Chains A and B, each alone.
Chain A
């Protein structure tokens, strides 16, 4: 059964791919067919992925690989393939399930868009690429899908390309992630050079993540007392992961990516694609662990690569949480929140291993997709208004959206016990607490948790409470107040909210099923763990953080209803300089504008000058030389060859004219010539005989 499912797993990405191809040739008016194809293909994929997940849930130590030869180049054979293991099954199930819900939501959200067919085509393409990415058993296949999801992300961010901001955001996303992907590509090439294969696992143990290859990678540097190649390769791969997952300093594209349609933000820029970086790190975790020094009782492994990942994650988690506090666009707040949560995932992965990071990834996917779809529902209900200052009081008109959004908000903030976000974030803080290198990431994570609770409370107060504050001069006749979204949009919200709550029970310290599953072990129920001192201490800390964050949020924004959109922000009144700096996103974009982009522009101008004047000059000189030679050739031709030829022709013509003149048509002249000739002949014969 499980063998058969492992073979069938290839259909999971192939079905949406076929759907994308079919939609690509579907005409624009056939809207229904396009969405049905996409949703149907995703539904089938979801079915297969969930069956595979359930099958392997019973045997988490299994890893089934299906490899095939793709290319033969000289003596090198390049294999591609897919695999069924807990990590890929969990990801495939999550991606296809969340994707399916978001596809359904899009049917309502995009109902009035004229490019509905194109939208579903791109969505299906994205689904195919993302599912291919998660089941890939080869770094090369993973990379191909990685770039394809980047492409789909580019196409979907720029879906409304007639808006200049959307077109610019799409380019920014594509180029920024490309910076990271350069590292990924280099790491991949190096890995291939060092191990001779890019296949992760093979049945014969020759894969690049299996013992043989890893030993050689670790050993090469240790003997020379240098950094092991494994570390450098891992860091290069992490560059790609940081670009895709919006880690500082490559986070700038993710908030701008919110220019795309909201379901896209939910699917690509919250739940799935941005988490691909974390997934990549989880997938190559054996590589990150090479040369680990075990530290006493804690099960943390510490390597240079993991240390870097932990620090980058912790810094990003805090940095983005700060910026999120001062944003006014409902989607931008969530975008910075996503950056911050991805930082948490890296922090968890670096400090606590695959399971810790991945569990947060899975829970985050559900509640962040929920929040984004909720935001989409609010935007839809408020007639495309995105600025939270102009919303207010939406709770009264959109009860379902409000209820589900509140669930998502509490899950993200980490409200204890009943919400999945609490358990997964707690797990990360626990891992950070036990990290032997430093306690600072733990403090950063805790402060980030306070800020997370704070900015989510602020957002909810602005959007759902207080009086309605619509824009001055808005069209009041058309719609006086917001309206609830149709069922096709609220139903996915409800399902996602259920998961945002329910997933938590699979990851409590008492029964860490998800963690064990991801580590390839069976879980054991042990309530004792829940009450061990360290766990309680960390849980207490996070409880205090959340309570403090929500309390502060309520104090600033909820206590007195926000009466008018023009009123400055409660924090802005008290801490103006800080708030302005945060509102301007700590000037990172401006910094890049002034450094990297200016440098790039200067370099471009320099090379333009080189190209135009030096290379172009050389080309022009060669061109002129050729033209000169051609001119000389033409001159010779005109005045030498042609003139000679013309002279010959003229001579022939003149001779012919003279000959023709002899033939003057007068019969007497002919006769005269005949007579003279005859006489001459006669004379010759008369005297010539003697």
Chain B
């Protein structure tokens, strides 16, 4: 079994890639993908900490991750629906053009 810090580094890398995607890309779909990456980085952390915890027989770690994946799926459904709605209205998925909520 690989040591914990390798998992954490991978997870941090995944998170960083996701965050970079979210912050730099203008396309709504790619932003959603970045968010998925960040979520999965968090899931990886959960699993890694569960495996290296004092009692790995317990089910909580997997359960929490399963929840996060379920929530992420719902979130993606909502997010994609939003993107489609935005696309219908603006004929674009470029999020910088969607600024009607500005103060």
A residues near B (Cβ < 8 Å) are 659-668, 671-672, 675
Contact = CB atoms under 8 A, between A and B. Distances in A.
Contacts of A661: 102-103
Contact of A668 (B19, B96, B101): B96
B103 A671 contact: no
A665 B98 contact: yes
A521 to B, nearest CB: 115
Interface in B15-42: 19, 22-23, 26, 31
B23 A671 contact: yes
A663 B95 contact: no
A663 B23 contact: no
Interface in B51-102: 95-96, 98-102
B17 to A, nearest CB: 13
Tell me whether chain A's interface is mostly helix, strand or loop, or mixed: helix
A668 B103 contact: no
A675 B23 CA distance: 8
A667 B19 contact: no
Interface of B: 19, 22-23, 26, 31, 95-96, 98-103
Given A659-B103, A660-B102, A666-B98, 13 more contacts: A660-B103, A661-B102, A661-B103, A662-B103, A663-B101, A663-B103, A665-B98, A665-B99, A666-B99, A667-B31, A668-B23, A675-B22, A675-B23
Contacts of B19: 675
A668 B35 CA distance: 13
Nearest to A656: B103
B99 to A, nearest CB: 3
Contacts of B98: 665-667
Contacts of B96: 666, 668
A661 B101 CA distance: 11
Contacts of A660: 102-103
Contact of B102 (A665, A668, A675): A665
A665 B101 contact: yes
A666 B95 contact: yes
B95 A667 contact: yes
Which 4 A-B pairs give the minimum distances between C-beta atoms? A660-B103, A665-B102, A665-B99, A663-B103
A551 B95 CA distance: 135
Contacts of A666: 95-96, 98-99, 102
B52 to A, nearest CB: 21
Contacts of A663: 101-103
A659 B103 CA distance: 8
A662 B101 CA distance: 11
27 contacts: A660-B102, A660-B103, A661-B102, A661-B103, A662-B103, A663-B101, A663-B102, A663-B103, A664-B99, A665-B98, A665-B99, A665-B100, A665-B101, A665-B102, A665-B103, A666-B98, A666-B99, A667-B95, A667-B98, A668-B23, A668-B26, A668-B95, A668-B96, A671-B23, A672-B23, A675-B22, A675-B23
A678 to B, nearest CB: 9
Contacts of A671: 22-23, 31
B31 to A, nearest CB: 8
Nearest to B19: A675
A675 B22 CA distance: 10
A660 B26 CA distance: 23
